[in-house]
Amino acid sequence: EAGVAQSPRYKIIEKRQSVAFWCNPISGHATLYWYQQILGQGPKLLIQFQNNGVVDDSQLPKDRFSAERLKGVDSTLKIQPAKLEDSAVYLCASSLVTGSKNPMFFGSGTQLSVL
């Protein structure tokens, strides 16, 4: 089965610019997650969707970050305007349904560099 697809793989922008990342989860997976992984740290959850509804966005900096999952399939994460501290790898993950018995599958991430 195909894995979680993410694009682009790399992105370099200047501060105050905007950027968008795209994620296509595994077919049939209802739950989708966006994680931010800063260099030298483990991933941190930004937002979780169940189908096209938001389950948890408590750690999403809503003044600059936004995410949507139209039609409950693909998802886009946007940063506007970007700051230097947003430099990180942005990982998308999906699982069949919400629940710890269902394994979470990760994509290869988008590495963002903000100059």
Partner 1 sequence: AQTVTQSQPEMSVQEAETVTLSCTYDTSESNYYLFWYKQPPSRQMILVIRQEAYKQQNATENRFSVNFQKAAKSFSLKISDSQLGDTAMYFCAFMKPPTELTFGKGTLLTVNP
Q: How far is the CB of 49 from partner 1 (least distance, A)?
A: 11
Q: Which one of 1, 27, 42, 70 is in contact with partner 1 (CB under 8 A)?
A: 42
- State the SS3 of 43-102: CEEEEEEECCEEEECCCCCCCCEEEECHHHCCEEEEECCCCHHHCEEEEEEEECCCCCCC
Spatial neighbors of 50 by CB under 8 A, at least 6 apart, are 30, 31, 98
Q: Could you tell me if residue 64 is left (phi over 0), alpha (psi between -120 and 50 degrees) or otherwise beta?
A: alpha
Question: Residue from 27, 40, 63, 71 that binds partner 1 (CB under 8 A)?
Answer: 40
Least distance from partner 1 to the Cβ atom of residue 25, Å: 14
Q: Find tokens 């990342």 and name the residue.
A: 21
Residue list 54-113, contact with partner 1 (CB under 8 A): 55-56, 89, 91, 93, 95, 98-100, 103-104, 106-109, 111
Count of residues of this chain found to bind partner 1 when the rule CB under 8 A is applied: 26
Q: In the complex with partner 1, which residue's Cβ is closer, 70 or 99?
A: 99
Q: Which residues bind to partner 1, rule: CB under 8 A?
A: 3, 31, 33, 40-45, 48, 55-56, 89, 91, 93, 95, 98-100, 103-104, 106-109, 111
